[in-house]
Amino acid sequence: MTLELQRLSAGYGGMDVIHDIDLTVRPREIVTLIGANGAGKSTLLKTISGLTPSRTGTITFNGERIEGAPTATRMRLGIVHVPEGRQIFSGLSVSENLELGAYIHRRRSDEADAQRAEVATRFPMLRERMLEVAGNLSGGQQQMLAIGRGLMSRPKLLMLDEPSLGLAPRLVTEIFDLIVSLRDQGLAILLSEQNAQLSLAIADRGYVIENGRVALTGSGQELLQSKDVADRYLGVGVRHESSSAHMENGISRRLHNLMRSVPKT
C-alpha cells in the first residue's frame, strides 16, 4: 500500500485551510504530522479519509485515484481514520463499538467475531470489559477502543489524530508502543500529534505543517535534530520525561533515550 498526495488543497466555506500538500506514506511506515494547533493537520487527515472534500490536487492509494471517492469506498480500500476525541458510542458496549468497526465490510458475523477476538487479544483491557458500556471507560481505555474499532476492518493505512491527547504519561507510552507494534506487523500509520518529541522518536518520517503547508520534511531523526523543530515544537508534551518508572520495555527505553538526546536549545 502507498498513499500519495500531490498538491492537495482543501478547506471550509470559501477558504482553503491546507494548500498544495505533497506527502507520501509507504508500506510499514510511521509518518507523523507535527505543527501548532490550527495548522491544518486534522483537516489533512479528514481530506484523506473523505470527511472533508478536496478542492484541488490528487490522492492516490495503491495506484488508484480516490480524491473523488466517498469515505465508505476509501474505508473499504483500507484507509481507516481514528478521529481526534475518539468519538466512540458511549451508550453502546465495548463489544458493540468494535462490531461497528467491521460493518463497512459487511462481514459475516463469524468473521466479525474472529476479528473481535484478535483485537481483544491485542487489548486485554478491552477483553475484560466487552459487555461494559463504553462511556464508563477511562480516557485511555476509550482511546484503545477507538483504535481497536479501527482495526476491526483490517486497515492497510491507519490514521490517528492526536491519540495521546489528555492521557496520563503511562498511557501515552502504551499508545506509542502500540503504534510501533502495529507498524512492525505491517500497517502503515499516519499520525497527527501535538507531542512532537515522542511522535518523531517513533516516526520513520515526518512532515512539519505550518499554516496549512508543508514547511519541512525529513526522517524522524533528522527532524528531532533540527534546530527549527526544536525551537518551535519540542517543548510540547515532554512532561512525562521524568516518568522513568513507566519506561519498562525496549521501545519505551528507546523513546526515553531519544528524548534525552534531543539538543536543548
Q: Which stretch binds ligand ATP (CB under 6 A): 24-32, 40-48, 91-99, 257-265?
A: 40-48
Q: Is 43 in the site for ligand ATP (CB under 6 A)?
A: yes
Q: Kindly state the smallest distance separating residue 163's Cβ from ligand ATP, in Å.
A: 12
Of 30-38, 195-203, 241-249, 254-262, which part binds ligand ATP (CB under 6 A)? 30-38
- Measured CA to CA, the distance from residue 39 to residue 22 in angstroms comes to 15
CA 158 to chain centre: 6
How many residues bind ligand ATP, per CB under 6 A? 11
Question: At closest approach, how far in Å is the CB of 41 from ligand ATP?
Answer: 4
**Residues forming beta bridges with residue 61, ordered by sequence position:** 3, 64
In the complex, what is the shortest distance from the CB of residue 212 to ligand ATP, in angstroms, rounded to a whole number? 7
d(CA 194, CA 176): 13
Backbone φ, ψ for residue 67 (5° rounding): -65, -20
Residue from the set 1, 21, 29, 42 that interacts with ligand ATP by CB under 6 A:
42
Q: Which stretch binds ligand ATP (CB under 6 A): 32-40, 72-80, 85-93, 182-190?
A: 32-40
Contacts for 222 with CB less than 8 Å, ≥ 6 apart: none
Give the 3-state secondary structure of 2-50.
Answer: CEEEEEEEEEECCEEEEEEEEEEECCCCEEEEECCCCCCHHHHHHHHHC
Three-point CA angle 140, 133, 108, nearest 5°: 100
Task: Select 36 or 125, whichever has its Cβ closest to ligand ATP.
Answer: 36
Which of the ranges 41-49, 125-133, 149-157, 241-249 carries the binding residues for ligand ATP, by CB under 6 A?
A: 41-49
Examine residue 166 and tell whether it contacts ligand ATP (CB under 6 A). Answer: no
> Rounded distance, CA 136 to CA 133, Å?
6
User: Which of 19, 21, 23, 35 lies at the binding interface for ligand ATP (CB under 6 A)?
Assistant: 35
Nearer to ligand ATP, 37 or 249 (CB): 37
Q: Which three cell numbers stand for residue 104?
A: 463497512
Is residue 40 a contact point for ligand ATP (CB under 6 A)? yes
Residues that bind ligand ATP (CB under 6 A): 12, 17, 35, 37-43, 84
